[in-house]
Amino acid sequence: MGDTQDLLVERAGHVTTITLNRPERLNAISGPMLDGLSRALIEAERDTDTRVIVLTGAGRGFCAGLDLKEQAQGTNHVGSGGTRMFDLRTAPPIVLHNVDKPIICALNGPAAGYGMDLALGCDIRIASDQAKLAAVFTRRGVLPESGGTWLLPRLIGWARAAEIAFKGEVLDAQRSLELGLVNTVVPHEALMDAAREWAEQIAANAPLAVQATKRMMRLGLEESFEANVHQVYLQLLPLMRSNDFREGVQAFVERREPVFTGR
């Protein structure tokens, strides 16, 4: 997997790490970064050796949102006349939502606006004690355009979501943890070690089963209970014919750790 200057992609073992790399701009998203992030996510989804994706930022911020400075200068193509950048079929929030492989956000610093939506779109959020979630959309005259209006009420309920979004609140790491918006908070210097540890624990499990579980959880947000049970059964049949299922059973019988191949 290749890098661009503003986006770094690295795979170690079964974990691919995507790093937003504009630290001098607190990783504000430029137009090219939107396309690059979508491509990186799609490539990681297609890469058979990748089982878990970690999304993080370089420097002291996770993502300051869309680059309003570039927009004001007319170089970001986001906003008026910028409909090309909002081809939703390949927009990062849509791609992020549809990826079946687990995505961990290593929240290394402030995530504001678009950056907050990106963080919320991940499956798991591990936060540095220096992290913040800044729902500042209404302070800028916009709304959470990249999934936040769908994600936030589902994560913490309508009333809490309304309070945060309408008031434009900024939540520190501890408050985010109390609300259930992050899974855990760790010392800043331990963030990437913690993210890798979680990622490797997930990657050690049967990847097809993990991906099917995520897919069924996602569909379950919109389905009735009966429909989801039916879908789960249909997902279970091919899993029970997989090599990984046989390995899981055999490892249990032999009282050893399984070694899964994703087949």
Q: What is the pLDDT of residue 144?
A: 87
Q: What is the pLDDT of residue 140?
A: 86
Distance CA 201, CA 13 (A): 12
Written as one letter, the residue type at 143 is: L
Written as one letter, the residue type at 242 is: S
Q: What is the pLDDT of residue 136?
A: 92
CATH of domain 207-254: 1.10.12
Per-residue b or e along 176-190, where b marks 16 or more CB atoms closer than 10 Å to that residue's CB = bbebebbbebbebee
Q: What is the pLDDT of residue 89?
A: 73
Token pair, residue 250, equals: 């055999």
Q: Which residue stretches of the chain have pLDDT < 50? A: 75-85
Distance CA 79, CA 97 (A): 23
Domain(s) of CATH 3.90.226.10: residues in the chain: 7-203
Written as one letter, the residue type at 152 is: L
Q: What is the pLDDT of residue 190?
A: 98
Q: What is the pLDDT of residue 81?
A: 42
Q: Output 242-250 pairs: Cβ under 8 A, ≥24 positions apart.
A: 242/206, 242/208, 244/206, 244/207, 244/208, 244/209, 245/206, 245/209, 247/206, 248/206
Q: What is the pLDDT of residue 142?
A: 87
Domain(s) of CATH 1.10.12: residues in the chain: 207-254
CATH of domain 7-203: 3.90.226.10
Q: What is the pLDDT of residue 1?
A: 52
pLDDT in tens, 109-164: 999 999 999 999 999 999 999 999 999 998 888 898 889 999 999 999 999 999 99
Residue 41 contacts residue 95 (beta carbons within 8 Å): yes
Distance CA 105, CA 122 (A): 6
